Structure 1
Amino acid sequence: MIRFENVGLRYGMGPEVLRDVSFVIDRGSFQFLTGPSGAGKTSLMRLLFLALKPTRGLMSLFDHDVATLSRTDLPTLRRRLGVVFQDFRLLDHLSTYENVALPLRVMGKEETSYRTDVVELLHWVGLGHRVHVHPPVLSGGEKQRAAIARAVITQPELLLADEPTGNVDPTLARRLLRLFMELHRLGTTVVIATHDIGLMDQYDARRFVLNEGRVHIYD
């Protein structure tokens, strides 16, 4: 599903923040991405969800060479992704329900086909009582859960989550990880960036450890 070969990334004329990164992520796999602050985790995630292109090397996603993708190709590929951003990116003028349902609306689905699923998922992540409120009223942890629900509602082929449990308590963090594991069981490829070593230790998953722009892989 994902292949990096000697990928490098720099911003403008600055030094490389990723250097000679090479790895393969198979379809249906589950892995954590970790490392100290400033190691390049967010930059690597931005490559994966197609916000950036490498400055050198080969990166392919869904068998497409990212360097050759046109702007018209990007929306089609992005619809195959579910992404949990650190800054949530909820739309303030939409309710919690409408934010979570948005990817399904963009796909052209009728509300009658997904309303029950959206409401059930919101209950599952602990937002059943916040269905009709808008993001400015939500706490940071509630926004995080809404963002996660939005990312997984389409059962994407690839789920990318950047610190998805950073604003919730340990009990809810484990519950959210179970949601990701269930998606994985259904065939979704999962990449989770996290600082939480204790959380990672609870799961038998491959770890990508970034340090000074380079990736070390531990199976």
Structure 2
Amino acid sequence: MVRFENVGLRYGLGPEVLRDLTFRIEPHSFQFLTGPSGAGKTSLLKLLFLSLRPTRGLITQFGHDVATLSKDAVATLRRRIGIVFQDFRLLDHMTTYENVALPLRVMGRPEESYRDEVIELLNWVDLGDRMWALPPVLSGGEKQRAAIARAVIARPQLLLADEPTGNVDPPLAQRLLRLFIELNKSGTSVVIATHDIALMDQYDARRLVLHDGRLHIYD
């Protein structure tokens, strides 16, 4: 599904923040991405989401060389990816329900075909009583759960999550992880960036560890 070969990334004329990354993400796989603050986890997620292009090296995604893609082709591929950023990126003029349903609307599905599905997912992430609220009145944890629901609602082929359990209590964190695991069982490849070692230790999953811009893989 994803292949990196000797990938490097720098911002402007600064030093490389990612160096010589070579790895694969296989279909139906589940992995944690971890490492100290400033190691480059968010930059790697942005490369995977195609919102950044590498300074050097080759990235192949869904069988396509990223360097050769047009903007329209990138937009098409990104519809196959779900992502949860730390800043959530909810649309303030849309209700929680509308934000979560947005990927399905973009796909052209009529509301009657997905309404029950969206409501069921909102109940699962404990937002059933907040579905008609606008993001500015939601707490940080509620925004995070809404962003997660939006990322998974369309059952993407690849799910990327940047610290998805950082603003919730441990029981809800476990529940959200179960949601990611069930999505993985249904065929989605999952990459979760986290600092939570205790959480990772509860699951037998591959670990991608970034340190000083280099990647170490533990299967």
Could you say which TM-score interval applies, normalised by the shorter chain? over 0.9
> What is the DSSP-based 3-state SS (H/G/I as helix, E as strand, rest coil) of the residue aligned with 1:73?
helix
- Deviations, residues 170-204 of structure 1 (Å, cap 9, x unaligned): 11000000000000000000000000001000101
Instruction: Measure, in 1, the Cα distance between the counterparts of 2:9 and 2:131.
Output: 40
Query: C-alpha displacement at 1:72, in angstroms?
Result: 1.4
Query: C-alpha displacement at 1:97, in angstroms?
Result: 0.2
Instruction: Measure, in 2, the Cα distance between the counterparts of 1:158 and 1:216.
Output: 21
Normalising by structure 2, report the TM-score. 0.99
Query: C-alpha displacement at 1:75, in angstroms?
Result: 1.2
Identity across matched positions, percent: 76
Q: Which residue of 2 aligns with 1:180?
A: 180
> What is the DSSP-based 3-state SS (H/G/I as helix, E as strand, rest coil) of the residue aligned with 1:100?
helix
AA at the equivalent of 1:194: T
Query: C-alpha displacement at 1:74, in angstroms?
Result: 1.1
Instruction: Measure, in 2, the Cα distance between the counterparts of 1:210 and 1:95.
Output: 37
Instruction: Measure, in 2, the Cα distance between the counterparts of 1:74 and 1:63.
Output: 13
How many residue pairs get aligned? The number is: 219
The within-5 A match list for 1:129-208 is 129-208=129-208
Q: Which residue of 2 aligns with 1:106?
A: 106
The within-5 A match list for 1:79-94 is 79-94=79-94
Q: Which residue of 2 aligns with 1:65?
A: 65
Q: Which residue of 1 aligns with 2:213?
A: 213
Instruction: Measure, in 2, the Cα distance between the counterparts of 1:191 and 1:50.
Output: 15
Instruction: Measure, in 1, the Cα distance between the counterparts of 2:70 and 2:76.
Output: 11
> What is the DSSP-based 3-state SS (H/G/I as helix, E as strand, rest coil) of the residue aligned with 1:28?
coil
1:95 aligns with 2:95: yes
AA at the equivalent of 2:205: A
Instruction: Measure, in 1, the Cα distance between the counterparts of 2:6 and 2:31.
Output: 20
- Deviations, residues 128-152 of structure 1 (Å, cap 9, x unaligned): 1001000001000000000000000
Q: Which residue of 2 aligns with 1:118?
A: 118
Instruction: Measure, in 2, the Cα distance between the counterparts of 1:85 and 1:24.
Output: 22
1:36 aligns with 2:36: yes
Normalising by structure 1, report the TM-score. 0.99
Query: C-alpha displacement at 1:34, in angstroms?
Result: 0.1
Runs of at least 4 residues off by over 4 Å: none
Structure 2 residues without counterparts, runs of 5 or longer: none
